[in-house]
Structure 1
């Protein structure tokens, strides 16, 4: 009985600590996202809003009960940007409702956090990112417009920038956090050489592709394929995250592949690159992981079949039979 009472007393403390931890992670991710901002039609937005990815990852790992931490983190983030007005309530509702809708939708379709199936990757892309983030962007932009902080003529560009930023946060940040949560062991010592080679190539190739005036962003994709083939989701998503951050920095500074472009063109080019990068990394690694697990299942089935055949052969072996040519024991005659 004392143990039960002790557990009940600890529940509020655990809930408070969990809420504070989620709020801290949300706020820190939001501040990092605000370091790279673009201005389109007078509206300031982040090309990749990491807080939505952090929020969805926390919901998938910790459960629906961590939503107050998301709201609290969003409140402190709004407070750090400027004095909150009536629109802050709508923004908080939207930034909480978007990840919650994504969580509920993904759970309903049987989403697995290890992203070991192609259907999990497709669900995260189309339901978690593109679908659920419509809620956060619509509620947030409508709140700004009702508060008089947004000209109605700028509604659609602002809404599009908000939606894409939230969706990119889910596509790029959530898989990385899920990979870190699901990680059980580090690569073996024999594979560290290839890991270091991949890191070295990425450190040279990605900045060259994003900062070169030749617009050589396509050079990132062979690196992404290499990472997905050899290290599956962990390798491909970390490469995608590094490439996305590097490209976002180049876009905000207007250099490299984003030189001499209008703000709208910069936004479109950057988001098309980020979106195609995240989709390629996520779906390709999901297909490779699914095929890997299928091969393991086939190998296990073959081993079980071989063991069953050996067992049957052992039972049918002539060890307990009389050798050929030996006389059979006489049979008893029946009596009338």
Structure 2
């Protein structure tokens, strides 16, 4: 189910709006800690505020859009005195996540991301398609205001669009997983989770900061996380790797040393994009196959119980018919 029932009390609505605005603002400030300059424009390779905004819309419903607008306004205000162009910026930053929410709701998107179609919808509708709106409106607004040169429209627009899309691809799934997780979590595989975390803490910094351009070392770790911990493990691993890669890119170290700022942006976004797509789609496929297997097992169990009940009067007490025994043996093997 996408969204929850809208609160009717003004106090609840106001508190929710302020909470969404605060989350949007905090995410934006974190994203601005790592900046890249493309054709004179300062951009963030990952803009987490778009991911926060879409997650809030999916969880709380369309009524929380004023919080997105308010958070965007405070973020713009923290960067300097806003001018008339602030209206276009707020419009773009709000319209992108809202359009993503509307499109996802139209296709029956489920926030548990348990189906491959949900992962594909988030990638192509929520990230790639909807963020075209926000990036286009924002960049055109800044050009009309004279803050950007029109001759640099395409490289700035591309970097802006990819940054917004990366926020959705990387941040939104993590927030949806955290909000939908059961607390406290099960302790059955804590040892493996700790081992995965330890390997990630050692391997990811080496991969992102090594002069050998060893970013590919992250993918086996990502596959391990997806196979064993599905979406929660893979997306947290992807978020960790993306953050460290972004830090290395802005510092110009490791695999990003000796590159121009445009080359750094392209290489970083290709890495972040492929990482997020791999984590999201692989986890969705694994989860969907697991749910299918569980459904088949439940159907077999129900069939065995039905056969046992229907044929109980035709066999001696304490003995089950051969069909039921065969189903039981198949179930025990699984």
TM-score, normalised to structure 1, is: 0.91
Matched residue SS, 1:124:
helix
Q: 1:45 aligns with which of 35, 43, 46?
A: 43
Query: By how many angstroms is 1:220 displaced?
Result: 0.1
- Cα deviation 1:82-121 (Å, max 9, x = unaligned): 1111211101000000000000000000000000000000
Q: Which position in structure 1 is the counterpart of 2:243?
A: 245
- Cα deviation 1:161-196 (Å, max 9, x = unaligned): 110000000000000000001101444333110010
Matched residue SS, 1:174:
helix
Higher-Rg structure is 1
1:35 paired with 2:33, answer yes
1:298 paired with 2:326, answer no
Matches of 1:91 and 1:157 in 2, distance apart? 18
Matches of 1:105 and 1:146 in 2, distance apart? 29
Matches of 2:78 and 2:108 in 1, distance apart? 37
Q: 1:122 aligns with which of 111, 114, 120?
A: 120
Matches of 2:152 and 2:230 in 1, distance apart? 41
Q: Which position in structure 1 is the counterpart of 2:228?
A: 230
Which consecutive segments of 4 or more residues in structure 1 shift more than 6 A? none
Structure 2 unaligned segments of length 5 or more: list them.
1-6, 318-334
Q: How does 1:1-336 map to 2 (within 5 A)?
A: 11-317=9-315
Change (3 A) 1:310 1:54: same
Query: By how many angstroms is 1:142 displaced?
Result: 0.5
Matches of 1:141 and 1:39 in 2, distance apart? 15
Matches of 2:228 and 2:143 in 1, distance apart? 48
Matches of 1:255 and 1:232 in 2, distance apart? 31
Matched residue SS, 2:9:
helix
Q: Which moved more, 1:84-93 or 1:97-106?
A: 84-93
Query: By how many angstroms is 1:10 displaced?
Result: 7.2
Matches of 2:90 and 2:187 in 1, distance apart? 46
Q: Which position in structure 2 is the counterpart of 1:333?
A: none
